Structure 1
Amino acid sequence: MKTLDYLHLNENKVNNVVSALHQLLADFQVHYTNLRGFHWNIKGHGFFVLHSKFEDLYNDAAEKVDELAERILMLGGTPENNFSQYLKVAHIKEVSGVSCGSDAVEHILETYNHLIAEERKVIDIADEAGDVVTADLLTGYLKEQEKMIWMLVAFSTCSCEKK
């Protein structure tokens, strides 16, 4: 028997989930690499806070990469492991040379904007396939990312006015 037989999931329906997870995996791999670059290259005001936060974010992204790859395997797929292939399909683009904190934060916000939209699509596809585990996994990502967006927006928005 195949793993899917034990999971009570239809292979034809789950193939769409696997394809969507492949796309998300590629996007997360590029996101992870961009975060590493921000961590390494950040300078100036906010260095101590951002350097540490970017490390937290890339560690979180690395964990999600592993979870996505393992979910692809559980659903009968084979996750890609070549960065050259990720770059061919990822919607998130590589970023280099960013050392300004506000530029890095803006890029991260744009990336989360994309990831959240894609995750919502995958949740819909997973729901159609009866794959509540994938939907739940990505719902957890959304919960974390929505809070992180709120925090990053608060960090980058100064509403303190001198009276």
Structure 2
Amino acid sequence: MLDSIETKKRTYKRLGYSAMETVELIDAMNKLLANYSVHYQKLRNFHWNVKGADFFDVHEKFEEQYNYAKVAIDDIAERIRVFGQTPLSTMREYLDVSEIKECGSDLSSMDMVAEILKDYETLLDHMSNLLEKAADNGDSGTEDMVKGFVKQTEKNHWMLTAFSSKN
């Protein structure tokens, strides 16, 4: 029975992957980078402009989350550089590539939370895609990095969902 199951051999890839080997991987990283960057700016927008009875809770949570996003963005961009490639780095590039879109600052605090929850779902989709590409390329470094993002994003999603639920 084991003979009939194909096992995919994974090989160690040295630093300096060729562009041909990693086109899909770099594309997936740049898409995650673009989405994270728009998400980051949205969190800052909401942090600065939230108002209402739950101001202190939401204001603080958005700051915590944009600080996490800032580190994730840097990690992704530096990971792209490990492969000898240049990450997307302008707002125009981010906005052109990102599925996450900007929005105004005139939302209620709960609408802001709902926006961030949608962002997390989009980010998780891109993380899942990147994990698949990393596994296909035998790239355990990227897999490890993204698994940490998944864990934190799922936790953030859970916490904001609990905060915004109407018991």
Structure 1 runs not aligned, ≥5 long:
none
CA RMSD of aligned residues (A): 1.7
Mapped partners of 2:77, 2:99: distance in 1: 18
Cross-structure match for 1:68:
76
Cross-structure match for 2:151:
143
Cross-structure match for 1:29:
37
Counterpart amino acid of residue 92 in structure 1: I
Runs of 4+ residues deviating >4 angstroms: 8-11
User: Are the aligned partners of 1:14 and 1:126 in contact in 2 as well (CA < 8 Å)?
Assistant: no
Cross-structure match for 2:53:
45
Match of 2:125 among 117, 122, 131: 117
Verify: 1:54 aligned to 2:62, yes or no.
Answer: yes
Cross-structure match for 1:92:
100
User: Are the aligned partners of 1:10 and 1:129 in contact in 2 as well (CA < 8 Å)?
Assistant: no
Report the identity percentage.
Answer: 38
Cross-structure match for 2:110:
102
The two structures have a TM-score, normalised by structure 2, of 0.88
User: Structure 1 residue 7: deviation in Å?
Assistant: 3.0
Q: Say if 1:136 and 1:154 are closer, same or farther in 2 by CA, change over 3 A.
A: same
User: Structure 1 residue 45: deviation in Å?
Assistant: 1.7
Mapped partners of 1:45, 1:99: distance in 2: 14
User: Structure 1 residue 128: deviation in Å?
Assistant: 0.3
* Number of matched pairs: 156
User: Structure 1 residue 5: deviation in Å?
Assistant: 6.9
Counterpart amino acid of residue 14 in structure 1: T
User: Structure 1 residue 113: deviation in Å?
Assistant: 0.4
Cross-structure match for 1:133:
141
Mapped partners of 2:14, 2:124: distance in 1: 30
The two structures have a TM-score, normalised by structure 1, of 0.90
Counterpart amino acid of residue 140 in structure 1: G
Verify: 1:17 aligned to 2:29, yes or no.
Answer: no
Q: Say if 1:97 and 1:109 are closer, same or farther in 2 by CA, change over 3 A.
A: same
